[in-house]
Amino acid sequence: MSLNGSGPNGSKPIQLNVLGNPIEECSIDPVTGFFRNGDCSTSPDDIGSHTVCAQVTRKFLEFSKVTGNDLSTPNPQFGFPGLQPGDFWCVCAPRWKEALDANCACPVKLESTHIGALKFVDLEDLRTHTIKH
């Protein structure tokens, strides 16, 4: 499975979402993504696979904290404000899967979740947790 589409005229490849379309913005307030560009695009350097655009919940934040990744405490030296329930964030696909298995998964935006997340999470599980518009 290719993680990226082709860019026009040899430009940077288009990053695709789990639906096979160009990835959409996840959040710019707070600014998220492995590249801190607002979307969940990825590269081989993204060891954690920050590919799931999630609307974090208190339950997910607590789960993440007790399993070793505190997303709620500000970390100013890295420009990280700390997340609050309701914020959107590109979370690591393996962590989201762990949360799912522990009944702590939070809602996701499929249009903003990178196709690379499917290495770790089934599309049907993501669909089950899609944000209702």
Q: Is residue 133 part of a domain?
A: no
Distance in angstroms (rounded) separating the CA atoms of residues 6 and 128: 29
Distance in angstroms (rounded) separating the CA atoms of residues 23 and 122: 18
Q: Is residue 63 part of a domain?
A: yes
Distance in angstroms (rounded) separating the CA atoms of residues 60 and 55: 9
Q: Is residue 85 part of a domain?
A: yes
Q: CB-based contacts of 43: which residues, under 8 Å, 6+ apart? A: 34, 35
What CATH number has the domain bearing residue 113? Answer: 3.30.56.110
Q: How many domains does the chain have?
A: 1
Residue 115 has pLDDT above 60, yes or no: yes
Q: The domain containing residue 118 runs over which residues?
A: 4-128
Mean pLDDT of the 5-13 span: 53
Q: Is residue 119 part of a domain?
A: yes
What is the per-residue pLDDT for 133?
62
